[in-house]
Amino acid sequence: MHIISTPDEMTETARGWLTGGTVGFVPTMGYLHDGHRSLIQAAHAECEVSIASLFVNPLQFRSHEEFLQYPRDLEHDLQLLSEEEVDVVFIPKTEDIYPETFSTYVTPRGPLAERLEGAISPEYVCGTATVMTKLFHLIRPDVVYLGQKDAQQIAIIRQLVRDLTVDIHLRILPTVRMPDGLAWGSRNQQLTPEQRQQAPQLYQALLAGKAAIEQGERNIKRLQEIMRAHIAKKPLLRLEYVSICDPDTFVEYDEMAENTLITLAAQLGSVRLIDNILLLKGSQWHI
């Protein structure tokens, strides 16, 4: 496993890849778990070269304090990456990605950028688009591996790839869940035992929405009500939104359509959790 920590070495290495076959890239903010592991395993299995990045992106946090509080454990991350036989790990320093003179940002617009996560944190949208653009230029991957868990991030990157004609293929893998249904997340470990016990209710609410749709419910307001009622059963969960929308544009639906994303966010103490399920053409559920 080769560790690269400077943009210059990354660029040099990426140039050498031109002859080496398909390059699969897994961007992460570290504190790796089984969700990341599934992306890394797929990159390793499907590409000649696999590369993961560990970079906590300060641009996508609402405050410097939040950025500092993000969990980090480099030793554990390197151990997991070496177990999965990743070829290259890119661990840039913040000041190398964003030097003092840095002044060019990628700023998505429209409902995708302004609704849900974008309404709560415009920094998240612009920060994600900007760092991905930089990482794609530095690493020059053929395939980028992303998890379904971050549905809005996927849509933002998909739009970015289209709009800026970036020559990469996006490979989206299912959300990896713990046995009780809670999606793996780097911040889960910050939950108290009582909060942790209530956290799977997010997934239960999504499943209740799915069950109602399968029983023929088509009314968006009623579906949202069903899911809100589920969340309300757990007093520690503070629901921020539950949205039924187009998975590409994030425009809210008036009625159910063939491709539908059901996504929600809730605060649990100081931890913010997001989750979603996706219904695609042919009544195929991605949960």
Relative to beta strand 23-28, strand 49-54 is parallel
C-beta neighbour count of 174 within 10 angstroms? 13
Among 4, 13, 23, 28, binds ligand AMP (CB under 6 A): 28
Return the bridge partners of 273, or none: 266
The answer to whether the CB of 25 falls within 8 A of the CB of 43 is: yes
* 287, 210 Cβ separation under 8 angstroms: yes
Which residues within the stretch 186-205 sit at the binding site for ligand AMP (CB under 6 A)? 186
133 counts as binding ligand AMP under rule CB under 6 A: no
In the numeric block, the tokens 């939040």 are attached to 66
Give the end-to-end CA distance of the chain in Å, rounded to a whole number.
33
> Which residue of the chain is nearest ligand AMP when measured via CB?
147
Name the one range near ligand AMP by CB under 6 A: 31-39, 71-79, 162-170, 240-248: 31-39
Question: Is 123 an interacting residue with respect to ligand AMP (CB under 6 A)?
Answer: no
273: tokens are 């959790």
Widest CA span of the chain, in angstroms? 57
The H or E element that residue 274 is part of is strand 271-280
Is there binding between residue 175 and ligand AMP (CB under 6 A)? yes
Stretch that binds ligand AMP, among 43-51, 82-90, 182-190, 193-201 (CB under 6 A): 182-190
Beta bridge partners of 275: 264
Identify the residue among 146, 156, 237, 278 touching ligand AMP (CB under 6 A).
146
Helical axes 151-163 vs 122-139, angle rounded to 10°: 60
Among residues 150, 161, 205, 261, the one that binds ligand AMP under rule CB under 6 A: 150
Contacts of 267 (CB under 8 A, 6+ apart): 237, 238, 240, 273
Cβ closest to ligand AMP, residue 201 vs residue 224: 201
Is 147 a binder of ligand AMP (CB under 6 A)?
yes
Q: Is 36 among the catalytic positions?
A: yes
Q: With CB under 6 A as the contact rule, which of the stretches 103-111, 131-139, 143-151, 209-217 interacts with ligand AMP?
A: 143-151
Determine, following the binding rule CB under 6 A, whether residue 176 of this chain makes contact with ligand AMP: yes
Distance (Å, whole) CA 223 – CA 205:
10
| Residue (159 or 224) nearer to ligand AMP, CB | 159
Instruction: Give whichever of 36 and 234 is closer to ligand AMP, judged by the CB atom.
Output: 36
- Cβ 101 to ligand AMP, closest distance in Å? 26
Q: Does 36 bind ligand AMP (CB under 6 A)?
A: yes
CA distance 247 to 152: 8
- Name the amino acid, one letter, at 235: P
Kindly tell me which of 223 and 261 has the beta carbon lying closer to ligand AMP: 261
From 147-155, 196-204, 207-215, 218-226, span contacting ligand AMP (CB under 6 A): 147-155
- Binding-site ranges for ligand AMP (CB under 6 A): 28-29, 35-36, 38-39, 146-147, 149-150, 175-176, 183-186
